[in-house]
Structure 1
Amino acid sequence: MAIVAPGTAPQAGTARRSGATGPTGSGARRTGSAAASLWPEAERLLDALSPELVLLLDDLSATMFCAKDVTGRYALVNRTFVDRADRRSPREVVGRTSAELFAPELAERYDEQDGYVLREGWPLRNELELIRNLRGEPGWYLTTKIPVRRDGEVVGLVSTSRDLRTGDVDDQVIGSLTRVVQLVDERLDERLGLADLASAAGCTAGVLERRMRRVFALSPKQFLLRARVDRAISLLTGSDLRLAEVAVRSGFYDQPSFTRTFVRLTGETPAVYRRKSTVVDAG
């Protein structure tokens, strides 16, 4: 994983807090840092990222990874992202914007997604996108973008786009799942059930189950539950709403059911999770 400024030669053997340099023999790509050349917004974003996670993401050959600061500039990318942007090295990507790297229609969509995540402080999950590769061939990607906070303030975002590379994921399947994702996002505070998701997908519950497991590796119930917990986490860490209100806005029946589910999936109560996130931000 290279964290370098454009035109700056990497210094072998140096490492940043953000984990730019992998340990010898670890399999991580050994690159250097240019801490003095990074701009303030990038510094703040990178300081908020886990170095171990950053190193791990560099080895995902079928997944594009990037971190973008609040000014819209790329602060961190992996090798797959560099290849997808048709550049030779991370130094040709870091410090640039989407408009400087991608075709106008792609850059516009990326900026719209990024603006939503940075402005609202909400994650964007499971966005299905048809993207052409360097040979001009279309392929389906599954994109997730998550805001990064420091001291309670959004300082940037991290994003992954996974190449589905599945011959049996055709346009009909993708179209049906796109409608499911939109339904969940727009009506998460309602008591959605499997029948609602299947109706949006235009197929039977059994067919939807197979499609979602194939693409998302989750059942419809698991997908819906994860979306509710994701929404709750965003509200817990990004607002001062009462727990009962967080439960309602996340689509849980009541606060007790919200607490039981949250504890089961995260190992902590919502109140403890909020308190710990506040301590981390303050630190």
Structure 2
Amino acid sequence: MARESDNATWPEAEALLAALSPAMVALMDELSAVMFCAKDATGRYVLVNEVFVRRTHERSRRGVVGRRARDLFVPDLAERYEAQDAEVLRTGRPLRGELELIRRSGGAPGWFLTSKLPVRTPGGAVVGLVSVSQDLRSQDADDATMDAMSRLVAGVQAHLDTTPSAPLTVADLAALAGCSPDALERRVRRVFGLSPRQLVLRSRVDRAAHLLAETTTPLAEVAAATGFYDQPSFTRQFARLTGETPSSFRRRARRA
């Protein structure tokens, strides 16, 4: 990957490359079903793997590096990608588990699960982002399943935005997904490898991690904003899933 990105020498690209781990970048080329890219703060591609190149009309990474989404994808997809990128860069908040229908060059559309994370300098400035999109064909999930999961993820996020303290039952989740509880269980496990309750818990912890890293909101308020019963239960669950307490997570994020 490094050889193909030698032409990424503009200032924004250099700032991003300096903030990335070389080992992580090298590992991305080993992925056979995951698209990877790194974009600078202006939206230009700085690094991509071969899987990413195959989703464009270009033949090599040299044809992708230095260009933007609008140069490589159909307008509706490009607009979606650029809106996602702008939000991540503006807020510094990761995008996780976004279901996307990505059109393959010369083939049928396919479902991908996309995550985007901001890249920061040691001083904390956001200089770009990295993105991975997992091809879900290997999960053998049909479009009806993926459509249900898209509705479910959006519904859980809306619930956290508006009424985080209200419990979400399996019946509630099934209603969000538009399927029966039994079908919900099968579909969530097929796509995410989790139970429905685990998926909700992960969403709550992801939201809490953002608040801890990006705000000075007191821990008790973070617990309430992410649907935990109280601060002690929040601390126990967060530590179980992340390996560190909310306080230590916040301290480490501030040092990064």
Does the 8 Å contact 1:65/1:80 carry over to 2?
yes
Residue aligning to 2:133: 161
Residue aligning to 1:2: 2
Does the 8 Å contact 1:3/1:75 carry over to 2?
no
Q: Mind listing any 5+ residue stretches in structure 1 that lack a counterpart?
A: 6-32
Q: Across the two proteins, how many residue pairs are aligned to each other? A: 251
Aligned pair 1:183/2:155, yes or no? yes
User: CA RMSD, aligned part only?
Assistant: 1.9
Aligned pair 1:69/2:40, yes or no? yes
- Show CA shifts across 1:149-192 (max 9, x none): 33233222111111111585222211111110001111122432
Once residues 225 and 135 of structure 1 are traced to their aligned partners in structure 2, the CA distance between those partners, rounded to angstroms, is 38
Does the 8 Å contact 2:55/2:103 carry over to 1?
no
Once residues 75 and 250 of structure 1 are traced to their aligned partners in structure 2, the CA distance between those partners, rounded to angstroms, is 35
Once residues 46 and 221 of structure 1 are traced to their aligned partners in structure 2, the CA distance between those partners, rounded to angstroms, is 38
Shift of 1:4: 4.7
Residue aligning to 2:75: 104
Once residues 237 and 203 of structure 1 are traced to their aligned partners in structure 2, the CA distance between those partners, rounded to angstroms, is 36
Aligned pair 1:279/2:252, yes or no? no
One-letter amino acid of the structure 1 residue matched with residue 118 of structure 2? P
The structure whose residues are more often helix, as a share, is 2
Q: For residue 72 of structure 1, give the secondary structure of its aligned residue in structure 2.
A: coil
Residue aligning to 2:91: 120
Q: Structure 1 residues 193 and 147 mapped into 2: Cα distance closer, same or farther (>3 Å)?
A: farther
One-letter amino acid of the structure 2 residue matched with residue 100 of structure 1? D
Once residues 87 and 219 of structure 1 are traced to their aligned partners in structure 2, the CA distance between those partners, rounded to angstroms, is 39
Give TM-score scaled by structure 1 length: 0.82
Give TM-score scaled by structure 2 length: 0.90
Does the 8 Å contact 1:3/1:76 carry over to 2?
no
Aligned pair 1:203/2:179, yes or no? yes
Q: Structure 1 residues 160 and 92 mapped into 2: Cα distance closer, same or farther (>3 Å)?
A: same
Once residues 56 and 177 of structure 1 are traced to their aligned partners in structure 2, the CA distance between those partners, rounded to angstroms, is 29
Residue aligning to 1:174: 146
One-letter amino acid of the structure 1 residue matched with residue 137 of structure 2? R
> After superposition, where does 1:1-283 map in structure 2 within 5 Å?
1-2=1-2, 4-5=4-5, 33=6, 38-150=9-121, 151-166=123-138, 168-188=140-160, 189-190=164-165, 191-280=167-256
Runs of 4+ in structure 1 deviating by more than 6 angstroms, as ranges, are none
Shift of 1:71: 0.7
Q: For residue 241 of structure 1, give the secondary structure of its aligned residue in structure 2.
A: coil
Shift of 1:235: 1.3
Q: For residue 157 of structure 1, give the secondary structure of its aligned residue in structure 2.
A: strand
